[in-house]
Amino acid sequence: MEKIKIESNEIEKKTVEQQANYEGNHSLLLFERLANPVILERLVNDMYEDRKNTTLESREKIRKQILERIEKVKNRTQIVFSEIGHFASREGQYGLVGILCRNDPLVKKYESAQVKNIIEAHEKGHIIRRYESDSQFSKKVKSVFNFKDIQLPKEVSQRIARNIQANDPSIVDVEIAVYFSTTEEIIERMSQLKNYFGMSGTEEFTKEHLKYAKKHYVEDTGIYPYQIQPFLDAIEDEDGFVELMNTLGI
């Protein structure tokens, strides 16, 4: 136990730059964080607060559900390559990880093993964590962002619209800002930032981490810029964002 404490202290002594651009497996890092009892309890509380006005689920039931989803997504992952992407999670499809748009000319060059692992961890997170769009919890998460002024190139907006409509053909008019501002997308991009800095437990996320990520995340990871850049640009209340990073089950 003492050895673990020493290693943890050594990690915390690293500079933000030294922590950045974690080269290990991001999915395994996600599972390690969720195995931390503090992070797990935060996630249970998040999902309880999110659902308390719409369901009668207890914290115990939610905890069991989360743990079951974690085990299922650990043991079964299916990645499909297609021109059209789609969302990761649907009831009864645990372990079905979202499509990587390999044939899309806009993203074809972003195909490194690291990028695939980043996306895999993101999609696995979707399967584990789910939130109501209009809950008080969601409103709290969204309150630190301003997605209204997102400006994307036309071809990027069209691609996102195609993906959304492929997932739900009933959607006719696609508001791109709505896609980025869903609680589930926000939470998983927060998780990406923790993965980027190699955070395996309750390490503190600071404004220095945020500043560094805004400047270096896309360049370091080689990820498709519009996968995360609008999220970073939309952070309006940086202090509030940092507080959420350190108090939510991420």
Confidence (pLDDT) at 150: 83
Confidence (pLDDT) at 180: 87
Query: Cα(first)–Cα(last) distance of the chain, in Å?
Result: 24
Q: Give residue 103's pLDDT band: very low, low, confident or very high (50, 70, 90).
A: low
Classify residue 181 by burial, with Cβ atoms within 10 Å: 0-12, 13-18, 19+. Answer: buried
**What are the CA-CA distances from residue 127 to residues 87, 92, 182 (Å)?**
10, 10, 15
Interval 56-75: pLDDT, tens: 789 999 999 999 999 988 87
Whole-prediction pTM value?
0.86
**Per-residue pLDDT for 78 more than 90?**
no
Mention every residue, 6+ apart, whose C-beta is less than 8 A from residue 221: 21, 114, 115, 118, 196
**Per-residue pLDDT for 139 more than 60?**
yes
Interval 153-195: pLDDT, tens: 888 888 778 777 766 677 767 777 778 899 999 999 999 999 9
Interval 214-228: pLDDT, tens: 999 999 999 989 889
Return d(Cα 231, Cα 145) in angstroms, integer. 8
